[in-house]
Every structure is written in structure tokens, then in C-alpha cells.
Structure 1
Amino acid sequence: MFQGFTKGLTDSILNSLLLRCGVYLRTLDLSASPQLLTDLCADSISANCPNLAELNVSGVSVTEVSLRTIAKACPKLRKFIQERSFYVGDKGLTWLFQGCPTLERVDIQSNSRIVGDCFHSVPTTLKYLDLDHCTKLTDLGIRKIGLRCKHLTELFISHCKSLTDQSLVNITQNLKKLKALRMEGSYTQITTSGLKKIGQLVCLEEVSFAQNSTVDDEILIQCALGCPNLAHIDVSGCYKHVTDLGLQALTRCYDLSYLNISYLSHVSDSCVESLATRLGKLKTLIGRVCSGITDQAMMTFADICYDLELLDLSGNFDISNQSVERFIATHTGENSKPLTIVLGGTSVEPEHLDTSGSSITLNMYNLSMPHLKVDREIMLPPEESSSDEEEEELESEAVSPGMKHYQSVMAAGAEITSDTEWGDPELDGFDCDDYLIGDDPLEEERWSMF
């Protein structure tokens, strides 16, 4: 972290360090202190680090020319990370791929410039590729990856909005060894029929569809039937089309150890109980703000799933001390395995629970995200439609003396100049200067100062 340098890590300081240890260096990570570094740091790296195997230049202003310099001087690179790059496009990455023929891991997420032309020269040794948030990535780029990277096992293409169903055809036909696939977020040109093809990846062990509105029950059924080795599934935020039917199909995945069903409003207790009965190897269950989950389902988990290591129930109001007490009872003893339960935003009262002698750790943080809650709109008052006659009647009542339930619309921050304008004897003596109209922040600040 270079905390000893009061002015931060600069090109000059980095060069001084690499002069002394660069020839022995195998790993260099500059992502923690990139603010003062420029593309000149590439000259220092290329001149002093011939044996470099791993390089992270995320946040550093490395240009395409600088990347070519590094690739020529560091041909032994096996891992390259450059997230959030604004200066490197397909041309610079082409030079990198041509100069480093033994690359195995590449992370270039959040690159808004590449379209995928660089992948015609990507090394065939590549096993890990992270392209999340590469919004201009095209189907042609995915096709080139499929033709070159036959040994690829991990591919992350979340939020790549330019992709279509053709990309999934190329992935399922060419990347047969794929074990991890991440497709989070919405895709405007990918359909349900396209996502169903993921079920053809028989080696798939990890799949993440978080907040992907295209995912439905049929896709989960196809994944459960065609991917028997699935161990990690994330369908959090897929509340539009994922129901009990799709989740119950996951009971076929006997090796499932991680399941995230957060923000799914159509999931019931009976479905969760069915998962508990069939998924004996489950170690992590994350179910934040699932309105259909209650103590009943959790008590079933407590009685059956002894291998659980993490249970996150943040934001579930129907979870109380009753189910937590059952977990404490089943995790008391010498052979009980440690279990962390996250209970922030629930009805649990930790002061009335005794975890002494058990392997339970209670965490009262609320890890749920309000903007992902399906029922967040119920916190707002319902809109009421009224006819023209009713509106006229309300308007006449709003200005009549003695009105208590309606008031005329006023601009935010407007002040009432006289008490008599209200015409209500109950307001006599009320200091209108302290009354906030429209909850104007400036008026609130002024009021709080007095």
C-alpha cells in the first residue's frame, strides 16, 4: 500500500524500487495506489521486470503503446488485470496477447472501448476471462473467444448489453469445458430461448443470473437437467419470472453448496423446505427480503441442513426468535459445525437469545439493499383517482374555514404569513414560522438552528 510515502506512489519511487528488486519480482500489483502513476511506469516495468508473471495495473493511466512495451519485455506474463481502463482498446490488447503467449488469466472488466477484435490473437492457454461491463463487446468477439480458447473454464460477461442470442450459441458450441459463467444484469437482445442453451454446458459448476430479468423457471429447469455438477447458483433479483417451480428443479443438483434467492417474492415456505430436504450439502443460503419465507421453513433447515456455514435472512420480517432458537438447539454440542446467521432487518430480538455453548454466531447487520426490494412501492401512499366532480369538491373544501384534512397546494419553502388564514381555532397561538411547508430542506435546516 506504500503507506510510508507521504506523497503517494509516483513513477520515480516505483522506478527506484524496481531497480533493486525487479529482476526477482514475479507479482506486481499497482491497483492500490494508482493515482499518481502515469504511463511512464510501463517503461520502469519493462526495463526491470523480465520475469514478471502477474501484473495488476487497474486504475493506472497505461496507454496502448505502454501496453505494447510491457508485452515485449514481459513475455512470461500468465495473469494480467486492468480494470476500469479508459485508454486501452482492441489494438493495445492485441499487442498484449501477441507478446504474452502463455497468458492464463485476463481481467479487463469495465472497458467501454473494446468490441472484441483483439480476441483473434488471444492465447489458446487462456482459462479465465472477465469481461463484465464491457458494454461494446459484440457477438463477433465472443465467437473469436470460442474459436481460440478451447480450454477456457471461467467466463464473466455481465452487463455486456450488446450481446445477442448468437453469443450463447457460440459459447455452448465451442466452450465445452466451461465451469463458471456469470451473466448478471439485463440484456436487451438476449431472450429466454437463448439462455436455455446454457443447459448444454455439462461441465458447468457455477452460474450467476443476479438481477437478470430474462431468467425464468424454464431456464432453471434446463440448467438443473443439463448441468448435473452445479454447485453455485445465484438468482437473486430475478423476481419477475422465477417461482417455486424453477427452484424446486434445483433439487436435482445434489452437489449444490451455494444458493442465493434474495429478493424473490414468489418463493414459498414449502419450496424452501423441499430444498432443505434434498440439498444435504448446502453450505450457504442467502435469502434477503424473501417475503414468502417464515420461521416454518427455517426450522426445517435447522433440523436437516447440518452443513450450513452461512445463512443470510436480512430484511425478512417473518423471521423471529422461534427459528433461531431451533438453530441454537441443533448446533449445540462438540460435533456441531460453526454457523453464522445474518438477521438484520428481521423480527429477531437478540437480547432474548442465549448462544453460549453453541456454534452459532449471530450477525445483526442488515445486508439487504432497499433499491432491490420488490415491494418497496408499498411504502408509498397509494394513488387515488377521483372524478372531476370529486376534485372540484375537494378544492372547495380545501379553502373553506375549519378544514382539517386537506390543504391547498403550496410551493416548497413557502411561508404562512398569518394564523387567521387557517380559520381554525385549534391553531391559535401556533408559530407558523416553525411550520415546514413541503418539507423544504433549507427550511428544515433553518428550523433546526433555532
Structure 2
Amino acid sequence: MANAVSPLLIPEIAGLICDVADSRDLLSLVLTCRVFYDAASARLWRTLHPRSLISLLKVKSTLEGKHRVKSLSCDYHQLIQTFRWSSRDDPTCRKFELEFFEYFGFPNLVQLEFSYMAAQSQTLYKIIAASPHLRYIDLSHCYCLSTQAILPLFFMPHHHLQTLILYGCGQIDPDTLATLIMHHHQSLQCIRLTDINDRVLESIQQCVGLKDLGLEHCAEAKLSAGALSRFSRPTKTYSGLGLERLRLRDIASLSSDHLRGIVDGSRYSLLHLDISECNRLSSEGFVYLSSQCVLLETLLLAYQAGVEDEAIQLLVLHCNRLKHLDVSGCRSLTDEAFRAFVNESDITPIALETLDVSGLESEISRSILGSLLMKLPYLREMSLGAAYDREDANKILEKVNRVHPSFHMDIDRTISRE
């Protein structure tokens, strides 16, 4: 006689339902009935993101066992897979005692996002050391961190970490950072760093699966033109980056030749590009960029003197997927840069959704700005900049609303479509 199939138990059925439920509906399931309480509560705790000091204090008390729900069989520490916390979410956050985060150790943690200017290395060391399964770590703007904080990442198996974000963590030893990147170079897909040196860039070049790279505020004395040349030049073993997102902000040694090499390696994959505040880039570099990166959806070119009308005009011809454009502070631009955007003979509507022209009140006329708002069907936000004359901004708004009465303006002179 065949063995009878055991039916699913009610708790198992509840778990299956919670697995397919939208995360926004889990709290409703918790409050629905006792059947869903345990299963939905456990899944709620998988992602922990306290957005206020009060919430953080409540989480701390719960982790200490002061407010434990006895019906939950699992330890809260075991449930948490994603932990996000930023002191910027709540301006009332104060300086914490070293022991405050003592109970914030999560053995099954996969993703850690922690941003706190006064964070102590010892605190982050303990959190990371207690999380051997980490794949994603973001410690942006933890300005006081030393090398000690990232040492537990060496205890993980080789090629385990996928995302490493350390914006603003300039006190970490660059040689240790380069060694860490090599430790995980086959698995890393996202790296974002501040003020690196040549050795760190060379280690990044070994990350064959890298899709997202962010570098900012790199001084010429530390990151040389030679290192950038090697990075941007394909070799027999390195055929190009194939990046989808690239941020090179305030890189002192970056030249148009470097930009051309990087573009050649990622022209068919690049979706997001930020090359703001790089003073050595010429107009030829931007023209080449505009004609080659045809899949771009986001392009940020803030405060680039080399951005001229031709580069922006070419975006209309070649980058028909572009949704977000920032040319704030690009004072070489004139009305001619945007005339192609409002040309009624264009068959394909331009996909642009946001445009930042802050700091260009003398370069771009009210007439062309009004035309952009009226003729770009998907444009929902245009930033004029807080310094833009309010009377002139109101004239643009009045003109546009006579034709399309759906725009409003905030205190920062951003005109938005309702």
C-alpha cells in the first residue's frame, strides 16, 4: 500500500501565504488572526529599518529581551536578514554610548546599511563579525571608521561579498582596502569609495563581474593619471568594464582620454553616469560620450565647464532613453543646447522626466525653459535652483499653466507636474 501523503499543517499554510504576500501587507496579516501572527511577524523582522530614534530605542529594548513576544519561537536576532539605519533619518539622534549597539548582532544578516557620522570602529566590527553571511555592506558617511571596522570581511570565504559601499570612510587604510577587494574580486558587483589611490583602482580592475562603480573626491596626489589610463585601457585579459552605473565625481586626474576609454568599454551597457566636477574634461570628451552611450537613462554633468551646446544636442539624437539630466552649473550652455528638445518635427517623444538647470539663470532664457515644460510630455520636474529669481520663475509657471494647468513650484524653485 502506498504511503499516505501528509497534509500541510495550518502553520505551514500560513507560512506559504505570507511568503507570497506583499511586504506592505505583512502588518495587516499580523493583525488579522492568530494563525498568521507568528508567520507574518517573523517575516516582518527579516527587514529592519528604524527611521526614528524612538523606533531604534524600541528595537534595542526588544533585542535585549525586554519586550519579547513569547509566542515567537525564533530569536529575533536570527530572524533579521536586512538591517538599515541612518542617523540622517532623524535629526534628534545623539551620540550613542559604545555599548548601545551591543545586542545588534544578527547571525543571518545578508544586507547591512549603517550611516552614522560618529560610528565607532569597534561597534561596526562586532556587528560585521557576528554576520558571516553578509553580501551587501554600506557604511557611507561613517567618517570616524578606521581599518578595524572592515577586518571581519576577511574572515568570510573568498569571493563572497557582492556590494561594498564606503563613501566618506577616508580613514581606512588603502592597502587593506585593496587587499579586501582582491579577496572578493570574483563576486563584487558594486563598489563605491572615496579618495582612493592607485593600488585600490588596480584591484577594482580585477573585479570581472563589476556592474556598479562609484568613486568620488580623489586627489591627484593619490590617484594618478597613469592609473586611470591603465584602468580605462582594455588589455588581453581585461576587455572593458561593461558597467551599468558609473560615478566619477571630483576626480582630479580624470581626462577626456580616460573618459573615452571608459565609454568604449561600457557604451552598450551604461545606464547611469555621473561625471560631475571633473575639471580636466573637455568639450570633445562630452561630445564623444553623448554620441556613444545610447542606452543612458541618467546623466549627471554638474559644474562641468567643458559641457557645451553640441554635447546636449547630441543627446536628443542618440540617447532617446534618457530620463534624468543634470547640467547645473554648466555655464558654457546656451538656449541652443535645448532647441532640439522642443523641436516639433521630432517623431519620437523625448523621454526626459527630470531636468536640473540650477545656476544657469543667465545662460538659459525663460522662453526656452517654458517651452521645455510645455513640449516634453514626460517632464515632471525642472529644478531652477534656489537662487533663481522668484519673479522670473513665477512668469515661467504662469506661462506654462495657461496651456497645461498642472504645474506648481516649491520654495527651492523646482517646478513639478502634478
**What is the TM-score with the length of structure 2 in the denominator?**
0.67
Q: What is the match of residue 249 of structure 1?
A: 261
Change (3 A) 1:336 1:215: same
AA partner of residue 193 (structure 2): M
**CA distance in structure 2 between the aligned counterparts of 1:303 and 1:51, rounded to whole angstroms:** 60
For the residues of structure 2 that align with 1:338 and 1:120, how far apart are their CA atoms?
41
Correspondence for 2:79: 76
1:31 paired with 2:51, answer yes
Query: 213-222 or 175-184, which moves further after superposition?
Result: 213-222
Q: 1:49 to 1:141 in 2, by over 3 A?
A: farther
Matched residue of 1:142: which SS? helix
Q: Does 1:104 align with 2:110?
A: yes
One of 170, 192, 203 as aligned partner of 1:161 = 170
Q: Secondary structure at the match of 2:202?
A: helix
Deviates more, 1:339-348 or 1:218-227: 218-227
Amino acid at match of 1:153: Q
Does the aligned pair in 1 maintain the 2:312–2:337 contact within 8 Å?
yes
Residue of structure 1 aligned with 2:337, choices 323, 335, 342: 323
Written as runs of structure 1 = structure 2, the 5 A alignment for 1:194-205 is 194-205=200-211
Where structure 2 has 5 or more consecutive residues not aligned to the other structure, the ranges are 1-30, 88-93, 388-418
From 164, 179, 192, the equivalent of 1:182 is: 192
SS of residue matched to 2:217: coil
Is the 1:22–1:49 Cα contact (8 Å) retained in structure 2? no
Q: In structure 2, do the counterparts of structure 1 residues 121 and 364 end up closer, same or farther at CA, with 3 Å as the change threshold? A: closer
From the superposition, tell whether residues 196 and 323 of structure 1 become closer, same or farther in structure 2 (CA, over 3 Å).
Answer: same
Partner residue in 2 for 1:47: 69
Give the aligned CA root-mean-square deviation in angstroms. Answer: 3.5
Number of aligned residues: 325
C-alpha contact (below 8 Å) 2:249/2:277 kept by paired residues: yes
1:291 to 305, 313, 316: 305
User: Hey, which bits of structure 1, 4+ residues long, moved more than 6 A?
Assistant: none
In structure 2, the CA distance between the partners of 1:248 and 1:88, relative to structure 1 (3 Å rule), is farther
Q: Does 1:146 align with 2:163?
A: no
Does residue 1:229 correspond to 2:242, yes or no? yes
CA contact (8 A) 1:172 1:197 kept: yes
For the structure 1 residues 368 and 125, does the alpha-carbon distance in structure 2 shift closer, same or farther, using more than 3 Å as the test?
farther
CA positional deviation for 1:49? 8.4
Query: Could you report, residue by residue, the CA deviation over 1:339-370 in whole angstroms, capped at 9, with x for unpaired residues?
Result: 4332222211132453445446385424699x
Q: Distance in 1 between matches of 2:270 and 2:283?
A: 19
Residues 354-433 of structure 1: matches in 2 within 5 Å? Answer: 354-355=371-372, 356-359=374-377, 361=379, 363-366=381-384
| CA 242–331 in structure 1, closer or farther in 2 if over 3 Å, else same | farther
**What is the rounded CA distance, in whole Å, between the counterparts of 2:297 and 2:71 in structure 1?**
42
2:121 equivalent to 1:114: yes
**Separation (CA, whole Å) in 2 of partners of 1:241 and 1:250:** 14
What SS class does the counterpart of residue 297 from structure 1 fall into? Answer: helix
**Matched residue SS, 2:325:** strand
Q: Distance in 1 between matches of 2:266 and 2:333?
A: 27
Contact 1:47 / 1:73 at 8 angstroms: preserved in 2?
Answer: no
1:169 is paired with a residue whose SS is: helix
Secondary structure of 2:343's aligned partner: helix
Aligned-partner Cα distance in 2 for 1:236–1:165: 19
Deviation at 1:274, TM superposition (A): 0.9
Name the SS of the counterpart of 1:211 in structure 2: strand
User: Aligned-pair distance for 1:334?
Assistant: 5.1
Q: Deviations over 1:39-98 (max 9, x none)?
A: 54554653368489xxxxxxxxxxxxxxxxxxx4441111122434844659956x544x
Deviation at residue 271 of structure 1 after TM alignment: 0.5
Q: Which deviates more from structure 2 when the two are superposed, residues 139-148 or residues 313-322? A: 139-148
Aligned to 2:395: none
Moved more, 217-226 or 278-287: 217-226
**Cα distance in structure 2, aligned partners of 1:350 and 1:295:** 17
Partners in 2 of 1:171 and 1:292 — Cα distance?
36
Q: What secondary structure, in the 3-state scheme, does the structure 2 residue paired with 1:200 have?
A: coil
SS at 1:272 equivalent: helix
> Is 1:206 aligned with 2:218?
no
2:367 is equivalent to residue 351 of structure 1: yes
Residue of structure 2 in register with 1:416 after alignment: none
Within 1, Cα distance between the matches of 2:99 and 2:208? 32
Larger Rg: 1
Tell me, yes or no, if structure 1 residue 305 matches structure 2 residue 319: yes
State the partner residue of 1:282.
296
C-alpha deviation, 1:217, in angstroms: 3.9
Which range moved further: 322-331 or 157-166? 322-331
Match of residue 391 from structure 2: none
Corresponding residue of 1:172? 181
- 1:365 maps to a residue whose letter is S
Deviation, structure 1 residue 336? 4.4
Distance 1:360 1:318, change over 3 A: farther
TM-score normalized with structure 1 length: 0.62
Distance 1:35 1:120 in 2: 22
Aligned-pair CA distance for 1:155: 1.0
Please state which structure has a larger fraction of its residues in strand: 2
Asked if 1 retains the 8 angstrom alpha-carbon contact of 2:192 and 2:213, the reply is: yes
Structure 1 gaps, min length 5: 1-16, 53-71, 370-450
Q: Tell me, what secondary structure is at the counterpart of 2:170?
A: coil
Partner SS for 1:235: strand
SS of 2:86's equivalent in the other structure is: coil
Does structure 1 conserve the Cα–Cα contact (< 8 Å) formed by 2:350 and 2:378? Answer: no
Deviation for aligned residue 1:324: 0.6
> Matched residues in 1 for 2:317 and 2:52: separation?
45
Letter in 2 for 1:47: V
Taking a change above 3 Å as real, the CA distance of residues 141 and 37 of structure 1, as seen in their structure-2 partners, is closer
Identity rate, percent: 17
AA aligned opposite 1:228: L
Q: CA deviation at 1:230?
A: 1.3
